[in-house]
A and B are shown apart, each in its own frame.
Chain A
Amino acid sequence: MVSRTRSHHGGINLVKSSNLKKHYNNCLNHYKYKTEEIVTKKNAKKHLKRMHRKRHKLSFFIQSLLNFNGRNNGSDTCSADTLSNDLSPCSDHIPKRCTNCALGCEEVGKLEDNLIPIIKLEEHQKAKVRFIKGDYKVIRRLLDMGITTDATISLIKSAPLNGPVEIAVRGSKLALGREIASNIFVELSDQKMKVKN
């Protein structure tokens, strides 16, 4: 029982083809509201074209929930090759402002200067979380720990040797692995501020 529930934690980008369908449906569960019908692997491309206007939202969804980006479009993931080709203008730009998705992807590109991953922050610099990319479960856990979009965080320390970072969020201190931290994009607050003295 214990092991069964716990084993469900694998990253979506590394789903084996046997689990593919389950994960694929799981991913799409979140988005199917938008199309009123379930998007399947076969008709995904058609849908993507039809929803050109909503493309930015879908790309947010794809990038955040399916963790698609340039380096993992292997054929054994949720047919990443098909989808990422369709979204190529967007998927080249990693950060996407999900809170401001009314902006098209070209415009989003301009915001890149402001959006940086946590690991690029300087020590004691404060910033606002704008966008989180990654495995669905990781995102849910980060949300539970208080890293929601619009939360103010500050970097306390970055461990040496490509180690994790220590951040402060909502009065608590968290250690985040390098990879997770590099997928959390923040917008710098205007001035540099020390957390404490």
Chain B
Amino acid sequence: MNEVADEPVNLTIALAGNSNVGKSVVFNELTGSNQIIGNWPGKTIERAEGKLHFEGRDITVIDLPGIYSFSTFSMEEIVSREYMANEKPDAVINVVDASVLERNLFFTLQLKEMEVPMVLCVNQVDVAKQKGIMIDTEKLQDMLGVPVVSAVAVRGEGLHELMEKTLDVAQKKPQVKVVPYGAEVEKRIKILTDIVESENLNLNYPSRWVSIKLLENDPEIEKMVGSRSESILDLVQSLAHEIEEIHNEPVFSVIASERYSLANQIVKNTQIQSETKLTFSEKLDMIFTHKVWGYVMAAIVVGGLLLWTFVVGSFFSGLLSNAFSFFQPTDPKVSGSMTAILWNGAFGGIVAGVTLVIPFVIPFYLMLSAIENSGVLTRVAFMLDSFMHKIGLHGKAIIPMILGYGCNVPAIDSTRILETKRERLLASFAITFTPCAARTIIILGLVAAFVNIWWALALYAVDLLVILVAGRMASKVVPGESTGLIMELSSFKVPSLTAMLKQTWARTKSLIYLVFPLYIIGSAGIQALYAMGVLEPVSNALAPLTVGWLGLPAFAGILLIFGVVRKEFTLLMLVTLVGTNFAAFLTPVQMIVLALFSMLFLPCISTIAILAREFGWKSTGYVSLANFAFALVIGGIAFRVLTPFF
């Protein structure tokens, strides 16, 4: 603990604060990492770690998930407070949003109670200024008794000063000044603190904090203290009783009110609010939450994302196809030497990946990160709350579902922003029906390119209907009640291009490192198997399903099996088997049915793995079964209904 100040040592600093104040932006700026950022609360689920070299020191920076309080109502809160207690960072940077100072200080006051060496980073002062809010950081520093630095993290402003002060605090570890509560509460906290101290309970947490938590009826702390000393709990009861007598309110409510009135007092003394015109964000807000335009905008956001992906994707896909047409194998090679077959297959994998996957995935993720960073998602969640209730969820669940259009795996991960396990399961179930980028590639590459764009969009519409029906059925089956929406609506932001590019890179780089080799090996492998005649028996075994029920050619069975590994394999393997002119081998109806079936039929193995991790194998089995059942019914109907039209 007591390092010599002049000696270069390794330090650990943690970033803590409310959701969506820019902790991850500060983190990325400090460490040069590509931690995903987004303008919606709850995006950082697990803590991220990065390194920074500053003034001759190696500093480990920890980005904690955003929380509003140190109670134990969410995993994030428990993770954060246990981190503070057990790992004792050398300093904590409390990032606060300058335009919502009061609410942010509620958390700051709790962080101070944990008695960690801390620095306050008042972030987004530029946005606050637009709203007519000025903050007197010196006065704030005096009142809180901790160093305060104002910053605009997205532009890196103030971060050097922030690090200097943080380093200073980390080395000196100054005593954190106590900000007292109202007299009648403070008196009882003191009594309790003295007792807790004298009992020598050997807790990791500071005594005053433990006392406050005991009064607040914190179950974890109560258990921890209760196992060491029963008598303290009796004292807590009588003290709590006294406070409740005075205030006629439960103690947790009294303490929350008092904390907020402290925060309010600090804000009154340090913040100057001048009258302003409606900001750009507020004007946008009026459109996005308008009773008519709000829905139109929500549709434009989701539909626009898909349309943009198709238009930009097919443009680049065309360019790349032309560039590769010199080398492109005209026909899949099924005879000749094994080396030639393997080479041909591998090369086909590269070409298919470059011309079909890359051009669609990159524009998709670029637009997705723009949407995510702008703050539009929370407005869509607000507008669609009542619809989401129909499938047993609330508005916030729309955020992971939209992320599901990118990739189901991180989308299921982000269902952690929902409150109960039931909601997370229902949302994840809905997400498995959401066509991810890979499935979008199949739909666009098959249907939009060879039938027309309207049939492709119709598939998305059918999919929405499936989500509604399946979700409604699931909400009847999965026990429990849905909770209500409590969500912060933060200001709109103009997404920064560098952030968008970084984020797109973070999300697509694994495609190049990891997935591309898979394409090549898979493609070479399937071609070799095809040449050896191994695929035929497999296709034939699946023929009752593929040929009989869905009206697809027999080789579709192989495509679907590979599609479980990665959805886009369905399309890539099709290229390997028949070349790029699908129209010669598939009728329009077959293309639509194949796209529809592979959109719905089973989650890919990565999705199955994360479902199993989050909900266990039993639930995963049910989810997969439901997927398969819907695909079977809808695919079969589509084949029979569509055939007369073409």
Chain A contact residues, CB within 8 Å of chain B: 1-3, 5-7, 9-11, 14, 26, 29-30, 32-34, 57, 60-61, 64-65, 98-102, 135, 137-146, 148-151, 157, 159-164, 166, 170-180, 196-197
Which 10 A-B residue pairs are closest in the complex by CB-CB distance?
A177-B484, A33-B241, A177-B485, A143-B256, A180-B484, A7-B421, A144-B69, A148-B257, A101-B248, A160-B291
Q: Does A196 lie within 8 Å of B101, measured CB to CB? A: no
Q: Does B73 lie within 8 Å of A149, measured CB to CB? A: no
B421 CB contacts on chain A under 8 angstroms: 3, 6-7
A143 CB contacts on chain B under 8 angstroms: 252-253, 256-257
Q: Could you list 13 further interchain pairs (A-B, Cβ under 8 angstroms) beyond the known A3-B614, A102-B248, A159-B386? A: A7-B420, A7-B421, A9-B420, A14-B481, A26-B219, A30-B217, A137-B73, A145-B68, A159-B289, A162-B386, A166-B289, A177-B485, A178-B386
B540 CB contacts on chain A under 8 angstroms: none
Q: Does A149 lie within 8 Å of B253, measured CB to CB? A: yes
Interface assignment of B488: CB less than 8 Å from any CB of chain A: yes
Docked CA distance A171–B294 (Å): 23
Q: Does B103 lie within 8 Å of A172, measured CB to CB? A: yes
Q: Which of B249, B480, B485, B489 contacts A99 (CB 8 A)?
A: B249
Closest residue of chain B to A56 (Cβ to Cβ) is B248
The smallest beta-carbon distance between B124 and chain A, in angstroms, is 13
The smallest beta-carbon distance between A94 and chain B, in angstroms, is 17
Closest residue of chain A to B238 (Cβ to Cβ) is A33
Contact with A along B280-312 (1 / 0, CB 8 A): 001000000101001000000000000000000
Docked CA distance A10–B481 (Å): 7
Interface assignment of B197: CB less than 8 Å from any CB of chain A: no
Q: Which of B73, B78, B102 contacts A146 (CB 8 A)?
A: B102
Interface assignment of B112: CB less than 8 Å from any CB of chain A: no
Closest residue of chain A to B485 (Cβ to Cβ) is A177
Q: Which of A33, A166, A197 has the most CB of B within 10 A?
A: A33
Q: Does A174 lie within 8 Å of B488, measured CB to CB? A: yes
The smallest beta-carbon distance between A111 and chain B, in angstroms, is 15
Docked CA distance A29–B244 (Å): 13
Chain B contact residues, CB within 8 Å of chain A: 68-69, 71-75, 78, 99-103, 106, 217, 219, 237-238, 240-241, 244, 248-253, 256-257, 260, 263-264, 267, 275-278, 282, 289, 291, 294, 378, 381-383, 385-386, 394-395, 416, 419-422, 424, 480-481, 483-490, 614-615
Instruction: Using A5-B75, A33-B238, A177-B484 as known contacts, say yes or no to A148 and B256 having CB atoms under 8 A apart.
Output: yes
Instruction: Give 5 pairs: A residue, B residue, CB < 8 Å, sorted on A.
Output: A33-B241, A160-B291, A171-B100, A173-B489, A177-B395
Q: Which of B276, B424, B480 contacts A10 (CB 8 A)?
A: B480
Q: Does A172 lie within 8 Å of B488, measured CB to CB? A: yes
Q: Does B382 lie within 8 Å of A166, measured CB to CB? A: yes
Q: Does B385 lie within 8 Å of A138, measured CB to CB? A: no
Closest residue of chain A to B249 (Cβ to Cβ) is A98
Docked CA distance A44–B219 (Å): 23
Docked CA distance A172–B257 (Å): 16
A141 CB contacts on chain B under 8 angstroms: 68, 73, 486
Q: Which of B75, B267, B424, B487 contacts A174 (CB 8 A)?
A: B487
B241 CB contacts on chain A under 8 angstroms: 33-34
Docked CA distance A50–B249 (Å): 20
Instruction: Using A33-B238, A143-B256 as known contacts, say yes or no to A171 and B481 having CB atoms under 8 A apart.
Output: no
Closest residue of chain A to B484 (Cβ to Cβ) is A177
Docked CA distance A135–B579 (Å): 60
Closest residue of chain A to B616 (Cβ to Cβ) is A3
Q: Which of A33, A100, A146, A196 contacts B244 (CB 8 A)?
A: A33
Q: Does B485 lie within 8 Å of A170, measured CB to CB? A: no
B74 CB contacts on chain A under 8 angstroms: 5-6
The smallest beta-carbon distance between B22 and chain A, in angstroms, is 15
B101 CB contacts on chain A under 8 angstroms: 171
Docked CA distance A148–B244 (Å): 15
Q: Does A177 lie within 8 Å of B614, measured CB to CB? A: no
B260 CB contacts on chain A under 8 angstroms: 146, 148, 151, 170
A142 CB contacts on chain B under 8 angstroms: 486
Instruction: Using A7-B420, A33-B238, A33-B244 as known contacts, say yes or no to A173 and B488 having CB atoms under 8 A apart.
Output: yes
The smallest beta-carbon distance between B172 and chain A, in angstroms, is 32
B394 CB contacts on chain A under 8 angstroms: 177
Instruction: Using A34-B241, A175-B378 as known contacts, say yes or no to A61 and B250 having CB atoms under 8 A apart.
Output: yes
Q: Does A164 lie within 8 Å of B99, measured CB to CB? A: no
Closest residue of chain B to A30 (Cβ to Cβ) is B250
The smallest beta-carbon distance between B272 and chain A, in angstroms, is 13
Q: Does A33 lie within 8 Å of B99, measured CB to CB? A: no
A26 CB contacts on chain B under 8 angstroms: 219
A64 CB contacts on chain B under 8 angstroms: 250
Q: Which of B249, B251, B278, B481 contacts A149 (CB 8 A)?
A: B249
Q: Does A177 lie within 8 Å of B486, measured CB to CB? A: yes
Docked CA distance A174–B484 (Å): 13
Closest residue of chain B to A150 (Cβ to Cβ) is B257
Docked CA distance A170–B219 (Å): 28
Docked CA distance A65–B250 (Å): 10
Instruction: Using A9-B419, A160-B291 as known contacts, say yes or no to A149 and B386 having CB atoms under 8 A apart.
Output: no
Closest residue of chain B to A9 (Cβ to Cβ) is B420
Docked CA distance A33–B73 (Å): 23
The smallest beta-carbon distance between B386 and chain A, in angstroms, is 5
B103 CB contacts on chain A under 8 angstroms: 145-146, 170-172
Q: Does B483 lie within 8 Å of A11, measured CB to CB? A: yes
B252 CB contacts on chain A under 8 angstroms: 30, 140, 143
The smallest beta-carbon distance between B171 and chain A, in angstroms, is 33
Docked CA distance A57–B245 (Å): 10
A102 CB contacts on chain B under 8 angstroms: 248
Closest residue of chain A to B45 (Cβ to Cβ) is A2
Q: Does B240 lie within 8 Å of A148, measured CB to CB? A: no
Q: Does B291 lie within 8 Å of A159, measured CB to CB? A: yes
Instruction: Using A146-B103, A159-B385 as known contacts, say yes or no to A6 and B483 having CB atoms under 8 A apart.
Output: no
Q: Which of A26, A144, A157, A170 has the most CB of B within 10 A?
A: A144
Docked CA distance A123–B518 (Å): 56
Instruction: Using A2-B75, A143-B256 as known contacts, say yes or no to A33 and B240 having CB atoms under 8 A apart.
Output: yes
Instruction: Using A144-B106, A149-B253 as known contacts, say yes or no to A174 and B486 having CB atoms under 8 A apart.
Output: yes
A144 CB contacts on chain B under 8 angstroms: 68-69, 71, 106, 256
